[in-house]
């Protein structure tokens, strides 16, 4: 298959997905959102250079959890490891 038919198929699939999304009403009870200034952030310790917001789960327990982490200015990370898998998405910075 050449590139042109693939592009057409992608746009077709996107159009169908968009049409299906507009056909269903969103249940307000199933959706929660907060603006960045409304998210409560805590520091794990008094001298922490990080602020965290727990979205799902408990970081102190085994199992899945998700946190938003904000590193404060002046933080410099050193080489380290974690005993389990981590999936990290950087929203701003390096």
pLDDT in tens, 42-72: 876 676 788 888 888 888 888 888 888 888 7
| Contacts of residue 41, Cβ cutoff 8 Å, sequence gap at least 6 | 51, 52, 53, 68, 70
Coil vs helix vs strand at 60: coil
Percent above pLDDT 90 for the chain: 0
pLDDT higher than threshold 70 for residue 86 = yes
Residue ranges of domains in the chain: 29-71
Two tokens, residue 50:
């990080």
Residue with tokens 């999936």: 87
Tell me, yes or no, if the pTM score tops 0.75.
no
Helix (H) or strand (E) holding 21: helix 3-23
CB 52 within 8 A of CB 44: yes
């Amino acid at each position: 298959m050449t590139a042109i038919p693939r592009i057409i198929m992608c746009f077709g699939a996107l159009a169908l997905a968009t049409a299906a999304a507009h056909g269903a009403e969103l249940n307000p009870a199933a959706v929660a959102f907060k603006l960045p200034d409304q998210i409560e952030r805590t520091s794990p310790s008094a001298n922490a250079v990080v602020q965290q917001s727990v979205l799902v789960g408990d970081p102190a327990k085994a199992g899945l959890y998700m946190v938003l982490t904000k590193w404060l200015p002046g933080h410099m990370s050193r080489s380290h490891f974690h005993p389990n898998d981590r999936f990290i998405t950087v929203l701003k910075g390096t």
